[in-house]
Amino acid sequence: MTSSFQSPFQEDVNISTIEMHTAGEPLRIITSGFPQLNGTTILDKRKYLKENFDHYRKLLMFEPRGHFDMYGVLLVTPDVDDADIGAIFMHNEGYSTMCGHAVIALGRYAIDRGLVKNPTSPETRVGIQCPCGLVEAFVEYQPGGSGCEEGRTGAVRFQSVPSFLFASGLKVDVPGYCMQSVDVSYGGAFYAFVTDSDVGVTLKSSPMQAVVKAAHAVSEAVKSTVSISHPDSDDLAFLYGTIITDGKDAFSDNVTANVCVFADKQVDRSPTGSGVTARIALQYFKGHIGLGQSRTFESGATGSVFTGKAVQEVTCGEFKAVVVEVGGKAFYTGCNTFTLEREDTLGHGFLVQ
């Protein structure tokens, strides 16, 4: 019996990666074996990848090489001034516009791999062009080591694209959870924000499945009722996910927890870099914090932490905005050379929930 399966790959594939994690959230950095992308801008290249090589994303993010909550990045040549590298982010559903945990890892990776000329001590700037714009990472740099030993003791902080509160106190009917008061904020990606008590869960004790179910319901309700726009590009104008918080937005309690559920019900193990950025913008424009007031954000999934603070008032189109600084640490977990034999039908990627 002849199989009807038609492989999107024309030959056997070998792809090399470096594996890292930031605050528990994985990052698969593709280092070789990926096809060349056409396009002048990073958004052009992202579109070309989505339309022509999405099977490579599935190969690397899905089982048997990845898993439902895998996250990856493809480095590309940047097309803006002051960028050292360009980054296209990928996950279980597609491609995101910004990823803070990846930026933190890439800052360290760029120094360790010699992608930044003449690094300086005690800190080196790394310009990373993301689909949402140029993000600046600042990497603690200790010269004298070799490879990943160079940055082993160094933390990374990054400063965001202009971030803003898109809408506050929206009344959204969430099936199964009644009417909710939802904030929508932008930190390189758009997120909906609700408190755990409003959707009947507790971040510290509820099963993660209950948190995911509630967050997904909010995301679907917001997507169906709220029209999102971004002053710079329609490619940025979509809801990436929902962040459920412990409700401690006031500065009186510096430590606050949240869980981000994004893409296709994917759970971020970290506090979420772009989510922290969006949440700082929300807190700033609701009057809960001032410029330079640092907060600690704890992941409700792993207990890992990022710091965040608003450092400068700016504008983004008609929106009052802030530049947000987020800090954290990333670590190496290994390296891989992944192989696909063209006749391997399951090896093209599948997901089990």
Active site residues: 99
**Which residues are CB-neighbours of 282 under 8 A, at least 6 positions away?**
165, 168, 183, 185, 193, 249
Helix (H, G, I), strand (E, B) or coil at 305: strand
Residue 137 corresponds to which tokens in the numbers above? 């990472």
What's the CA gap between 280 and 230, in Å, rounded? 18
Residue 156 β-bridge partners: 139, 328
What's the CA gap between 33 and 13, in Å, rounded? 7
What's the CA gap between 167 and 155, in Å, rounded? 33
Residue 77 burial (C-beta neighbours within 10 Å; 0-12, 13-18, 19+): exposed
